[in-house]
Amino acid sequence: MRKTNKSGIDLIKQWEGLYLTAYHGAADRPGLLTIGYGHTDAAGPPKVYAGQKITEKEAEAILRNDLSGCEAAVERLVKVELNDNQFAALVSFVFNVGEANFRKSGLLRKLNAGDYGSVPSELMKWTTANGKRVQGLANRRAAEGGLWVKGGFVSSQYVEPDTKPGSVTSSLTKPEVIGTVVSGSGGLVAAVSGATGPIGYALAAVIVIAAAIAAYLVIKHIRDRGA
C-alpha cells in the first residue's frame, strides 16, 4: 500500500500537534480523549484513557498506523494519477475530515474528472467547525494546498504540459520566475485573507501557480487555433 511521504508526515505532525498525555479534544470534539498526534479511540487501537502517557516514538508509531486507513481511502477513491505530494496532501485532508466527508466531497468529484487545478480552492471550503470558520483549519487547508502544488506542474488530465527548454510551461514554472512573483504577491494575499507570514506566502504560491497554469492554457489554446 502506498505510504505518505516525509513532507506529508511533517505537515500532519505540525497541524495536529504532539500531546504525550491524554487530553480532552478541541472545540469540534469536546469530551473526546486524544493523545499523540490527534489519536482517538475512533481511529482504532490503542485505546485512549484518562491519565494515559506515551513517548514521542510511540506517538509516531500510532500516527503511522492511524494514517494507513486514510492512505487506503485515497488510493481507493482517487481514480487519477497523483504524485507523492498530492497523495500526501489528500491523506492529511482525509485524516482531518474523515473518509466519509472526502468520499462525498466536490473536491474528489472534480479531481476524478481530471480537474487537478481545483483542489487548492476546494480544500479551502473545509474551514468550519460547528458552523463557524476556524482560522486554524483555514491555515491547515492552505498548507495542504501548498503541498499539493509543490514539486510538480499541476494540470488537467486534458493538458499535456511541454517542459522542454524554451517552452511556455518551462518558462512559466522556472523557480526564479515563481519566486519573484510570490515575493511580490505575499503582501497582497495577506491583506486579502488576513493571513501573515508563512501562511500568506503559502496562499500566494497557490494563487501564482494557478495563474501560471491559466496563462499556459490560454497560450496553448491560441497556438492550437493558429496551427
Which set of grid coordinates corresponds to residue 81?
Answer: 494519477
pLDDT at 149: 93
Indicate the range of 3-7, 163-167, 220-224 predicted with least confidence: 163-167
- For 40-81, the pLDDT digits (tens) are 877 778 888 888 899 999 999 999 999 999 999 999 999 999
Confirm if 10 and 89 have CB atoms less than 8 A apart.
no
Q: Where are the beta strands (DSSP E) in the chain?
A: 19-24, 33-36, 128-129, 132-133
| Cell 519566486 -> residue | 179
CA separation for the pair 170, 157 (Å, rounded): 18
- Amino acid of residue 61: A
CA distances from 200 to 115, 204, 206 (A): 24, 6, 10
Q: What's the rounded mean pLDDT across residues 125-138?
A: 91
| Cell 494514517 -> residue | 67
- For 206-225, the pLDDT digits (tens) are 555 555 555 555 445 445 55
CA separation for the pair 41, 130 (Å, rounded): 21
Residues serving a catalytic function are 16
CA torsion 74-94-113-204 (nearest 10°) is -120
> Could you tell me which residues are beta bridge partners of residue 36?
19
Which set of grid coordinates corresponds to residue 217?
Answer: 492554457
Dmax (CA) of the chain: 70
- For 79-119, the pLDDT digits (tens) are 999 999 999 999 999 999 999 999 999 999 999 999 999 99
| Cell 513532507 -> residue | 7
Asked whether residue 34 carries a pLDDT value surpassing 60, the answer given is: yes
Confirm if 123 and 93 have CB atoms less than 8 A apart.
yes
